[in-house]
Structure 1
Amino acid sequence: QVLENQFADGQTNYLYYKGSNLLTKLRLYPLILLAVIGIYMLISYMAFSNARRSEQNKVWTGMAKETAHQIGTPLSALMGWITYLKEQYPKEIAFGEMEKDIDRLTEITDRFSKIGSQPELSDLKLNQTISRTADYLSTRLGKKISLTTKLEIENNVQHNGQLISWVLENMIKNAADALEGEGEITIRKETAAAEVHLFISDNGKGIPANDQRKIFQPGFTTKSRGWGLGLSLAKRIIEDYHQGKVVLVESGTQLGTTFKITLPKA
């Protein structure tokens, strides 16, 4: 750099100077310090978030396994009593229906026990899993709510039947709540080259726009009852256990709501 000095006799003196290496480094020091602080804050935030998420997962897993254990003990006794009553009164039809409900409770208990561990995936027929779930729920949603399945040709998909059924139940029950006693729910399956897509749709009231980003967060609910775990659990089962994807496709007052589940083909 040049510094120009004018003297009284009209002469001009030019002073050439250059900052030292030390001054150059000192000039960069505040920027480097800010960058280091920023990186430290980012790492601290990520570590805190991971620790918090890990703690939440442990609490969730512990609660699920404890629930399975607590339910399982009296359930075993009930199964014994039903077996005894069927032997004593073989013509009583009601005991058979009671046995079906107890088998259902046993399946639910088994679902809870799988939370927190890597479940076994089998090469199963996906249509059978969907149809079995739909058949069970169709008579339990309400007289004015119809549940329809539109399934393409059967595909074998690596999945855990109990957990996928759990996902479908949660999403179908949410759809039924949105219908408020009357409407239609549809489960539609489409097959791509390497994936299978399931669309769960309803013609209900839709999800408010400002709530759509939060629907997969644990504990978030717009209902007066419930824990707000259904969709977050569905997301965990599909994405963590089955390496798939679950997304909200669309939702609105005139559109109803549509979710899409993507599963890799076997």
Structure 2
Amino acid sequence: MGKDIRRLEIITERFSNIGSVPVLKDENLYHTTRNAIEYLQSRVSKKVVFKIESDLPLDTPARINVPLFDWVIENICKNAVDAMDGRGSITLHLRRVRTRTAWYRRGTPPRQVAIDITDTGKGIPKNKLESVFMPGFTTKKRGWGLGLALAKRIIENYHEGKLFVKWSEVGRGTTFRLVLNQ
């Protein structure tokens, strides 16, 4: 019952953050990501293997709102679990990303980090790659198709980052890239 109460508190906090401008803080990216995965790992099939890899120092910060960030990670990973029919692997790879040269023209480029979330699921057909972020898009029998649309909004509007499909191949899997500022 204690876990259920904590879960409801998390959901309440997430929804209250959606209705207001969330506060972004410098948070340890590796530890925050690991905590989100540990929470999720106990709630999905034991046949799903989670891995976190990092090319970054383990104390690398990112500007995030933890409850909303957790929601994004949870949503992408739950979709991956569904795409793998409850068995396979999900790898989260933390890395630095290069900033586009356009930033250099405007001044100091922002420092950015990325999390690549790769699954061994069904993959997304090329003609559906743009649709996955549209409200109402779903491949599931149940659901409203709001998860990825909301995740994209959280990252792009609230965190001033990017969320996109980096790679997908039908029958092999998908990689979502989440880019955050430091």
TM over 0.5: yes
Post-superposition Cα deviations, 1:166-210, rounded to whole Å, max 9, x if no partner, equal 000000000000001211111110024611010000011111222
One of 76, 94, 110 as aligned partner of 1:171: 76
Aligned mates of 1:136, 1:234 — CA distance in 2: 18
Residue 6 (structure 2) pairs with residue 100 (structure 1) = no
Secondary structure of 1:184's counterpart equals strand
Which residue in 1 is equivalent to 2:129?
A: 212
- Greater relative contact order (CA < 8 Å, ≥ 6 in sequence): 2
TM-score by length of 1: 0.61
One of 174, 180, 195 as aligned partner of 2:112: 195
Q: What are the residue-to-residue correspondences of 1:22-101 with 2, within 5 Å?
A: 98-101=1-4
Gaps of 5+ in 1: 1-97
The alpha-carbon distance between structure 1 residues 233 and 264, as it changes in their structure 2 partners (threshold 3 A), is: same
Shift of 1:100: 2.8
Residue 160 (structure 2) pairs with residue 257 (structure 1) = no
Q: For 1:102, give the aligned amino acid.
A: I
Which residue in 2 is equivalent to 1:9?
A: none
Secondary structure of 2:167's counterpart equals strand
Secondary structure of 1:243's counterpart equals coil
Which residue in 2 is equivalent to 1:222?
A: 139
Larger Rg: 1
Aligned mates of 1:131, 1:104 — CA distance in 2: 18
Shift of 1:253: 2.2
Which residue in 2 is equivalent to 1:149?
A: 52
Secondary structure of 2:130's counterpart equals helix
One of 2, 12, 20 as aligned partner of 1:117: 20
| Identity, % of aligned positions | 47
Aligned mates of 2:168, 2:174 — CA distance in 1: 4
Aligned mates of 2:129, 2:26 — CA distance in 1: 33
Shift of 1:254: 4.1
Q: CA RMSD in A?
A: 1.3
Shift of 1:157: 1.3
Which residue in 1 is equivalent to 2:158?
A: 241
Aligned mates of 1:148, 1:180 — CA distance in 2: 18
Aligned residues: 168
Which is richer in strand?
A: 2
Is 156-165 or 137-146 further displaced after alignment?
Answer: 137-146
Aligned mates of 1:124, 1:181 — CA distance in 2: 31
Which is richer in helix?
A: 1
Aligned mates of 1:235, 1:216 — CA distance in 2: 7
Shift of 1:222: 1.1
Post-superposition Cα deviations, 1:54-103, rounded to whole Å, max 9, x if no partner, equal xxxxxxxxxxxxxxxxxxxxxxxxxxxxxxxxxxxxxxxxxxxx213311
Which residue in 2 is equivalent to 1:4?
A: none
Aligned mates of 1:228, 1:148 — CA distance in 2: 26
